Amino acid sequence: MTDPKMMVQTEVIIDGVVCLLAQDQDPDEVIRQIEEATTTTGRFVRLIVVGNRQVSVLVTPTSRASISVATVLHDARDTGDVDFPYGGFYDTF
């Protein structure tokens, strides 16, 4: 019997908007972008999330953000390739 394959999943919450980052997203880069956006009057931070979709979240100096990580079962579909999204009404996997 083999152990199940695992992966680290990063959750970003900005002003109550929850985003699970795709595997190829660098959490340190996301933190840098959030910090940079708070030094302006506001800027969109673009994230590639689970499902291989892009999400843009407006971050301002008054935004609240948190980032957490967890180990979860591996999902081979989670490639971060926005040309091949998955999930939603037509996902049968």
Instruction: Say if 20 falls within a structural domain.
Output: yes
Q: Is residue 91 part of a domain?
A: no
Q: Give pTM, 2 decimals.
A: 0.80
- Kindly state whether residue 22 falls inside one of the protein's structural domains: yes
What does the mean pLDDT of the chain come to? Answer: 89
| Predicted confidence (pLDDT) at residue 84 exceeds the cutoff of 90 | no
Residue 27 lies in a domain: yes
Residues 74-85 as b or e (16 or more Cβ within 10 Å = b): eeebbebeeeee
Flag whether 39 is in a domain: yes
Residue with tokens 């933190």: 31
* Alpha-carbon span 38 to 26, nearest angstrom: 19
Q: Alpha-carbon distance 47 to 57, whole Å?
A: 8
**Quick check: 60 pLDDT over 50?**
yes
Please, what's the largest Cα pairwise distance for the chain?
A: 55
Domain that holds residue 48: 6-73
Is residue 80 one of the residues assigned to a domain? no
Give the separation between CA 16 and CA 74, rounded to whole angstroms. Answer: 26
Task: Please tell me the total count of domains within the chain.
Answer: 1
Asked if residue 86 is part of any domain, the answer here is no
Extract the tokens encoding 15: 């002003």
Interval 23-58: pLDDT, tens: 889 999 999 999 999 999 999 999 999 989 999 999
In a domain, 83, yes or no: no
